[in-house]
Amino acid sequence: MKRINCRKCEHYFVTWEAQRPHGCRAYGFKSPQIPSLVVFQSSGSECTLFKEKHLSK
């Protein structure tokens, strides 16, 4: 099982909320945990909406 790094996903964002610092635009939630972990704990399967972000130069 390969672990998904949400920080490399274009849907991931950091919130200003101390209690819920991680967010996922694709699933529409904020969490104290990394979103891919929340998705796995909730559904039992890996995140299927991961989309690697490309940095522009």
Sketch the domain layout of the chain as residue ranges: 6-43
Separation of alpha carbons 3 and 19, rounded Å: 23
Confidence category of residue 1, pLDDT binned at 50, 70, 90: low
What number of other Cβ atoms are within 10 A of residue 47's Cβ? Answer: 21
The pLDDT value recorded for residue 23 is: 97
Question: What is the three-class DSSP state of 26?
Answer: coil
DSSP category for residue 17? -
Q: pLDDT, tens digit, for every residue of 23-56? A: 999 999 999 999 999 999 999 999 999 999 987 7
The pLDDT value recorded for residue 56 is: 72
CA angle 48, 54, 57 (to 5 degrees): 175
The pLDDT value recorded for residue 17 is: 95
**CA 24 from chain center: how many Å?**
5
